[in-house]
Chains A and B, each alone.
Chain A
Amino acid sequence: MSPRYILGRIGLWFAVFVIVSPAILFFLWMASLSLKFEIDNASYPPVFIPEHFAWKNYTDVLASNRFLTYFVNSLIVTGSATLLAMLVGVPAGYGIARMAAHKSAIVILIARITPGLSYLIPLFLLFQWLGLLGTLVPQIIIHLVVTVPIVIWIMIGYFETTPMELEEAALIDGATRWQVFRHVALPIARPGMAVAFILAVIFSWNNFVFGIVLAGRETRTLPVAVYNMISFDQLSWGPLAAAALIVSLPVLVLTVFAQRQIVAGLTAGAVKGG
């Protein structure tokens, strides 16, 4: 324990404090806003911990019957878009990895680079023409723009690292390619599938731009619903912050519990949708 070591440790902890505090302070302040009555939220200097907690902000948001609709909408859109993406994306990642068709990954890269809005213009017309605009179907389909590239990209990377020997042995023994995929490759790829699933869920859940164009009153997802709250109650910060926290809570919980998978997925592909 030399003085130099101790000094280094103090410096390190100071640096850690500086780096992490913006995130911690922000979310604490978000929680503080959501738990205060309007009097406390409108006071200056700001109140950090109120004398009385306004749990009412949360119960009000949760009790409004619209909230349940929007929550279910978000569940349906994110759930369907993620499951469909897994259904087509996992086999595709397997096929591309085994064919070593690296050029096809360019399409995925283009999807990654393209602004989400530019998909919206033609698909908006298509959905209008098909008469689907009042339903959740357009949003499910367009969320595939986010989820499918994530799943394919991560699965290509994952299947490339899994060993071929077992699969070749199974093929020699007379198994069909489908059997090999189903009984040999898939079980090994479960960790990769978890990464793909988690990231697809997060980026689909967070998506906002597709909803503001395609969602009607009854088909809003949660991010769109929260955004629409501003225009109605400009100054009721408490309920607004409570709603914001409720919307991001599932994702934040997922971040805490699946941090390893998220970090692995983001550093492998650095994919982000929209």
Chain B
Amino acid sequence: MSAITQIAPAVAETAPEQQWRRPSYWPFVLPALVVVLAIIIFPWLFTIWMSLNEWKVGSPTTFVGLANYLRLPADPRFVEAVWHTIAYTALSVVLPVILGTFAAVVFHQKFAGRGFLRGIFIMPMMATPVAIALVWTMMFHPQLGVLNYLLSLVGLPPQLWVFNPNTVIPSLVLVETWQWTPLVMLIVLGGLAAIPIEPYESAEIDGANIWQTFRYITLPLITPFLFIAGMIRMIDAVKSFDIIFAITQGGPGSASETINLYLYSVAFVYYDLGYGSAIAVVFFFLIIALAGVLLYLRRRTMWTEIGGGA
């Protein structure tokens, strides 16, 4: 540390005022930089290197270039996993964003016990996901589960939930929605708090009803927050693991196997680390691309809003 402080005055000689205004803060960042390099940057570079090799535990590694990547489009299980991921993610973004916005509008009102009830509302996202998944598994049980009992109370036929390939993804999305709607609520609530009160006053004078006020004042003003919430939700839903793994392990068959689940199987069940690394790299760029699309859409809608007004 002393070496760095010794150099500082020499550099600052040309601008003596700068010496105390912008001292070097590198010593503060250095330990974290080492940690980040070791556990975040190094794994990344090493993953890219491994993806270019035939790398299986217990056998010698050979450089194979892009062969691992070329395997992907011809791997039916991977292609299927991509579709499962898209379906799972789309539902897990849309439902929590709609319900979370509704919850935020409600929690934006003043009522007794608001803080306490908000605390209960956010419990699903803080509780240990595996523990929650176990209880949901019991609730999904076709014979003894409480969900089919609740359906029977309102006269609906019993479902197989996660045990039927056709309903497994919507059932898992139900858990995901229950768990992560609170995060959307919190983000949108932050947006609602920033809205000025004047537009609402004039809307009330003009006799607008609740729906009109929401549609034409609240919604446009919180749209940026909806996009942020949607983007965070998308990133988390794409790589959702705990819930799916603990409830179905990707089953029945491979009906709920998403890219992340398949990545786990390839790397830590079959120990095909080279191919697993290639999946990890493609997966990462897929997430970046999806985030990019969402950002692009956001810019476009903002532009059309301005353009439409003119």
Main secondary structure of the interface of B (DSSP, over half): helix
Total cross-chain contacts (CB, 8 A): 263
Whether B187 pairs with A177 at a CB distance below 8 angstroms is no
Contact between B39 and A119 (Cβ–Cβ < 8 Å)?
A: yes
Whether A148 touches B29, Cβ cut-off 8 Å, given contacts A26-B135, A113-B235, is: no
Q: Does A245 contact B (CB under 8 A)?
A: yes
Asked if B260 contacts A115 (CB within 8 A), the reply is: yes
Using A23-B124, A88-B31, A95-B28 as known contacts, say yes or no to A118 and B43 having CB atoms under 8 A apart.
yes
Complex contacts, B143 vs chain A, CB 8 Å: 44
In the complex, chain B residues whose CB is within 8 Å of the CB of A125: 46, 273
Q: Which residue of B lies closest to A203 (CB)?
A: B126
Taking a contact as CB atoms closer than 8 A, the residue among B20, B25, B32 that contacts A168 in the complex is: B20
**CB–CB B130/A148 < 8 A:** no
**A16 contacts B106, CB within 8 Å?**
yes
Given A87-B31, A92-B28, A95-B26, A230:B134 Cβ within 8 A: yes
A227 to B144, CA, bound (A): 20
Interface residues on B, range: 35 or more
Q: Are A241 and B135 in contact (CB under 8 A)?
A: yes
- Pick from B115, B132, B273: contact of A248, CB under 8 Å: B132
Task: Answer yes or no: A1 CB below 8 A from chain B CBs.
Answer: no
Interface string of A159-177 (1 = CB under 8 A from B): 0000000001001100011
Assess the A94–B128 pair: CB atoms within 8 A.
no
Give which listed residue, A123, A243, A272, contacts B43 with CB less than 8 A: A123
Please tell me if the beta carbons of A252 and B149 are within 8 angstroms of each other in the complex: no
A208 within 8 A of B: yes
Verify if B242 is at the interface (C-beta below 8 Å from A): yes
**Contacts of B22 on A, CB cut-off 8 Å?**
99
Interface flags, A230-274, vs B, CB<8A=1, else 0: 100000010011011101100110111001001100110010101
Decide if the interface of chain A is mainly helix, strand, loop or mixed.
helix
Indicate whether B186 reaches chain A with its CB closer than 8 angstroms: yes
Cβ proximity bits B16-37 to A, threshold 8 Å, 1 near / 0 not: 0000111111111101111110
Chain A residue numbers with a CB within 8 Å of B117 are 16, 20
A117 lies within 8 A of B129 (CB): no
Residue in A91, A213, A272 whose beta carbon sits within 8 Å of that of B28 in the complex: A91
In the complex, given contacts A118-B281, A121-B267, what are 15 additional A-B residue pairs having Cβ atoms less than 8 angstroms apart? Answer: A15-B106, A20-B120, A23-B124, A92-B28, A98-B25, A115-B241, A115-B283, A118-B263, A119-B40, A122-B46, A122-B47, A178-B27, A241-B134, A267-B186, A267-B190
Interface residues of A (CB under 8 A from B): 12-13, 15-16, 19-20, 22-24, 26-27, 29-30, 33, 41-46, 84, 87-89, 91-92, 94-96, 98-99, 101, 104, 107, 110-125, 141-142, 144-145, 148, 152, 168, 171-172, 176-178, 181, 202, 205-206, 208-209, 212-213, 222-224, 226-227, 230, 237, 240-241, 243-245, 247-248, 251-252, 254-256, 259, 262-263, 266-267, 270, 272, 274
A-B contact pairs, 13 of them (CB 8 A): A43-B144, A46-B146, A95-B25, A107-B41, A118-B47, A121-B47, A121-B280, A123-B43, A208-B129, A240-B134, A241-B135, A248-B127, A255-B119
10 nearest A-B residue pairs (beta carbon): A95-B28, A92-B32, A244-B131, A118-B280, A95-B25, A122-B46, A95-B29, A115-B239, A91-B28, A248-B128
